[in-house]
Structures are given as structure tokens and as C-alpha cells.
A and B are shown apart, each in its own frame.
Chain A
Amino acid sequence: MSEQNAIQTGNEGSFLEVGRDYFKRIKSGETGSLPALLGLVILATIFALANPIFLKPINFANLLTQAATVTTLAMGLTFVLLLGEIDLSAGVTAGLSAAFLAVSMASYGVPWPFAVVISLILGMFVGFMIGLLVAKVGIPSFVVTLAVFLAFQGLQLVVVGKGGLIGIEAPPILAIMNRPMPLSFGWILLLIILVIYVLTSLISRRQRSNSGQQNKPLSLVLFKAVIILVVGGALVSFLNLERGANPAVTSLKGVPYVVPIVILLLAGGTFVLNRTKFGRHVYAVGGNAEAARRAGIRVSRVRITVFMISSTFAGIAGILLASRQASVDAAAGRSIVLSAIAAAVVGGVSLFGGRGKLTDAVIGGFVIAVIDNGLGLIGLASGLNLAITGGVLLLAATADAITSRKSKTS
């Protein structure tokens, strides 16, 4: 081992010591998404006790698709939040993308793959414009995206037409949110995830040892692989159970198509944030933009790119939205942005920039979806779930503010 000096690298220690370090960090306030994860378990327990339907396969599949849109939007927003900026327009961008998707297919006969590409490019372009206004002109992102939020509601109305409701017919688009994959696909998906996790871990360990640096114990990789296998296996088995209302007529079982899509976005985005120069620069600009500038990082370019990513994710969320509702109306996507911001913050992404991960957004997305879904099952008045979501957001933002203050003063 190359312990050439007294300076450590944080990779020392046995399996147990790594575990102890982990708990020490949690105690010192670096909790990440742990509170959200705990909250998720508590909420799920409460709802399961209140209404047994909550735990039925049909509801679980429902929950997944409910969470998918919010989660996708929240992942995109996480990039923006990491810079300490905000994107209030993500929801209407999703709505407008969905409208373009629907109109181009229904009115102009564009084949669905092209329609998808068009609406994603539209999303990316929106982000580019927002990014330019924020980074080059210097308008606060709050104002720019609020303006876009208002303008796009009007634009969407024009695209969809008054009182309009455009149906989606392309089977592949409808399948994303409404159809399950063949049973074996779920297992294949799990296998692929496992192989990719192990391979990337081993490659980065090789890289470290090639530079003479110590690695964390190998048992840690094994431990995480086992967790992925057990949790993933349980989820796949559960989703492979029959959940159709009338199986004799239409059987419904298997992992929904949207699941691999969200996992792909999560993995791709996480790779970019953790393992590339660009990702490092996003964290740097969010932590101290002036320091980043002096270090030669092109701050405006990072800002613009981040807004493009957020809006492209919004475009994807729009497609999910269209798929789930099998149609697009003039108000599609309008209210979802606040849920998505709440999801990211509840999951542990800081509103002050520089702190957060995409997995936080996913966990937060599930919290928001569980609240929505569970309260619906209990049969509370529908206004109440908005009030509760708002309360949870405030709670998470309070925790965020306290953590940020603590790390500033210590």
C-alpha cells in the first residue's frame, strides 16, 4: 500500500470502519437523502395501515408511473439547483413539449420517433434561451423562468387550440407509462444494472490503484451489489405479479416501460455529475462562482448548459405526461413544477447551490408521489394533499437552510 505520508485520502479502513465513518458523518449533519428515505418508509407504513390497497401491486405500479414524471422533472431541476438557480418554467416546458408531440403526430402525421426528437429539441432550445438570458444578460433565473412560465401557458393554449384536447395514438408512446415489459425484461434489466455497477466500480478501483492510491475495501462493492440484488429482485418480483382487474380478459404484469427510462436518466446524469469535468464544474460554480471563474472555468457556459439539461429533462417529462394521460390539453404540466422542486429539496438537494445528487431527486420524487397517492387512497379532500406537500417542502427547506448555515460557520 502506498501510505507514503501521513495525509489520508478517506479510503483507509476496513469495512466496519467505513460503516462507522458513515454513521459519524450522518451524526455530524451530512444526512443527504436519509431523512427523506426514512420519511418514505414512515409514510408508506401509515398509508399501508390506513388502506390495504396501498400495498397492492396495481397501486405500486400506479405509484411508479405517478412518481416518474415528477422524478424526471426533479432530476433536471437538480442540475439548475446545484448552481443555486431555479427553473420555474420546467413544468410548462414539459407541457409545451407534450403539446408539440401531440400536435405534430395528430395534425401533421409526423412519425412518433421524429415527434419525440422534435419535442426534445424544443425543450433544449428553451433551456438555451433561458440560459442566455440568465448567464449573458444577467437577469435572475427566478424572473426569466417566471416570465417563460407565463408566456408558455399562452403559447400552449395557441398550440393546442381553445378547449382543445389532443389524443395520443402512437402505441409506443402510450406504452411508456401504461404497459408493462415482458416478465423476463425486468430480470434482464436488474442484471444489466448489477453488471454495470460492478464493472464501473472495478474500473475506478483499477484507476486508483494504478496511481498508487488506496481503495476502499472490496467488500463494500460486494455489499452494495447484494443490496441492489435484494431490493431490485424484490421490486421486479412484485411488479411481475398479476395486477389486472380482470386477468382473464387483460393480463397486466411486469415492470412498466418507464422504469428503465428513468433509471437510464438517473445513471447517465449521475455519471456526468460525478465523473466528468463538466459535472465537477457544476458543483464548483454552485459552491463559489467567483472561485470557479478565477480558476479558468467558463461560468456562463456551465450556466447555459445546465438550463439546457433541465429543459431537456422537462421535455422528457412532457412525453411521459402525454403518455400517461393519452392526451394533451392546454393546461398540461402547469402545476407539476412545484411538486418537482419540492421533490428535489425534500430529497436533499440544497436550494443554495453546490450540494445534492440525482438520487436525492428520485427519492424526493417518491416521497411526493407517495403523499399524493396515499392521501388519495385515504380519501382526504383533494386540497389537503397540496397543503401537506407544501408543508413538507417548507420542512425540507428549513432543514436545508439550517444545514447550509451550519456548514458556513463551522
Chain B
Amino acid sequence: MSNQTPVIELKNVKKSFGPVEVLKDVNFTVRAGEVTALVGDNGAGKSTLIKGLAGIQSYDSGTVLFDAKPVELTSPRQSSELGIDVVYQDLALCDNLDIVHNMFLGREEVNAGVLDEGHMESKAASTLTSLSVKTVKSVRQKVAKLSGGQRQTVAIARAVLWNNKVVILDEPTAALGVAQTEQVLQLVRKLADAGKAVIIISHNLQDVFAVADRIFVLYLGKMIASLKTSETNQADVVGYITGTKSQEDGA
């Protein structure tokens, strides 16, 4: 599965904020059917890299290839049209609306100008079922009443519902307990197994090793390592993250 052309390929991407170089000639590849982990210490530039892909904050220079074709990502709309969806750390759900409403937010289905609740409900329910979600009782529950893990589930299911090619998850397990972390990681794995390219940002190496196929390490804005999970170990990755170890430019 891993030798097809990458869905996303970044080449020599740069980004500065004033005099501060945050991304320095970064190379990054993401493949369909794989979970790609992006790790690095606080301030390494992970979120900045992701914001470029999400179209929130474009890169200063460098090439972005999507399905081997060069693209410019300058607005969130563009990214989502390409099929890139970001599940933000703060989730961005509307607490006062129910699960169906949240999953279809901004893309509600209408029939003769009137919301087609039945249709949306059945699609939402079948998406959750396809992800083997068992913790959510009713799709008509208000999101305010859900636990952290359930909210994460809804946010991920939303990305799945739209049949996105690339799903980016920014620290999806940061606020979760053991059992809920386990569930979300299973969900992440399932996404990749369904053929999507998944990017996961995490500070928890245990989670990364549990779920990722490849690990990219950012160190002070440089992509310092690109590793296959099966060929490395936690100690090495910690070395790259803290800068005590380095690899000839990977990717």
C-alpha cells in the first residue's frame, strides 16, 4: 500500500513570522492508507505546518503537491474542496446542537429549501455505525451532553462523513482518559484502513507507536527525521525530538 504516489507532498516549505523562521525547508509526505505521525517539541512548528495544509495560513515558499499536482492552499474552503479536513484540538463543535446537526454543519442537506432531517440522520447514523462507534447512544443527543471522547468521535466522524481524502488530527487524545484514548486510536486506525491519509499530531509517543505507520520529527522548524514505526523505537524518537540525535535529511 505504501509505494503508491503520496497524497500530499511538501517540498522545501518555508514559513517565517517576521525574523523568526518557523519552518525551514521542510519536506513532508503523506500516503493514503497510512497513519502519519507528526511529532516534535513545543514550538517545533507542527501546528504551523498543519495550518498551511488547512489553508488557514499559507506557506511563504516551497511546493505543495496534492495527488502529484502542484496546488496553492490559500483558504480553508480550498483545502476542504480538495478533501483535506482538520479535526482541531478544540474540536469546534456547537454544544447547543445535536450530533446530526454538528456532523452536517455548514453542509446541511435540503429538499425544496427545507432541511432534510431524515436523510441527514440516516447518513450520520450509518457513518457512526461504519466506524463501529458504540459509545454514542442517540444521534439526536446534544453535543453538550457528550464526554470528551464522544465529542472527539463526533468530530472525526464528521471528517469521515464528507469522504475526505486527508484527515488531520491535532492532538486528538490530549484530554482523554485511558479507555477513551483507546477508542479514539482505534478510530484513527480504522480511518487509515479505509484508505484515507491520516495525519496525527501527538506528544504521546505511546499513542504514536500504537497507531502510526510513519513518524516525522520536527526540531526547531527542521524536519529532522522520517522514520518507519516498525524500524525505530521510542528512545530514538525521543532523541530526535530533543535534538540529541539526527538523521541525514529524510523524507
Give the B-binding residues of A (Cβ under 8 A): 2, 4-11, 204, 207-213, 274-277, 280-281, 283-284, 286-288, 290-292, 294-297, 354-355, 407-408, 410
Contact = CB atoms under 8 A, between A and B. Distances in A.
Interface stretch (B63-71, B112-120, B207-215, B224-232): B112-120
B80 A283 contact: no
B92 A294 contact: yes
B95 A204 contact: no
Given A4-B129, A9-B138, A294 B88 contact: yes
Given A10-B140, A212-B118, A297-B105, 15 more contacts: A5-B125, A7-B128, A7-B138, A207-B117, A207-B119, A208-B118, A213-B121, A277-B110, A281-B106, A283-B101, A284-B105, A291-B94, A292-B105, A294-B76, A407-B144
B105 A295 contact: yes
Contacts of B105: 280, 284, 291-292, 295, 297
Contacts of A284: 94, 97, 101, 105-106
A407 B95 contact: yes
B47 interface: no
A211 B138 contact: no
Contact of A207 (B101, B116, B136, B144): B116
A199 to B, nearest CB: 13
B122 interface: yes
23 contacts: A7-B125, A7-B129, A8-B137, A8-B139, A204-B117, A207-B117, A207-B118, A208-B121, A212-B118, A275-B114, A276-B110, A276-B113, A276-B115, A280-B97, A283-B94, A287-B94, A288-B93, A290-B92, A291-B94, A292-B106, A296-B77, A296-B80, A407-B142
A292 B101 CA distance: 11
A145 B136 CA distance: 43
Contacts of B134: 6
A263 B91 CA distance: 39
Given A7-B136, A286-B96, A407-B144, A280 B129 contact: no
Interface string B192-233: 000000000000000000000000000000000000000000
B176 interface: no
Interface residues of B, number: 42
Contacts of B129: 4-5, 7
B115 A275 contact: yes
Contact of B106 (A6, A297, A408): A297
B139 A9 contact: yes
A203 to B, nearest CB: 9
B130 to A, nearest CB: 10
A297 to B, nearest CB: 5
B93 A9 contact: no
Given A7-B129, A7-B136, A276-B113, A210 B106 contact: no
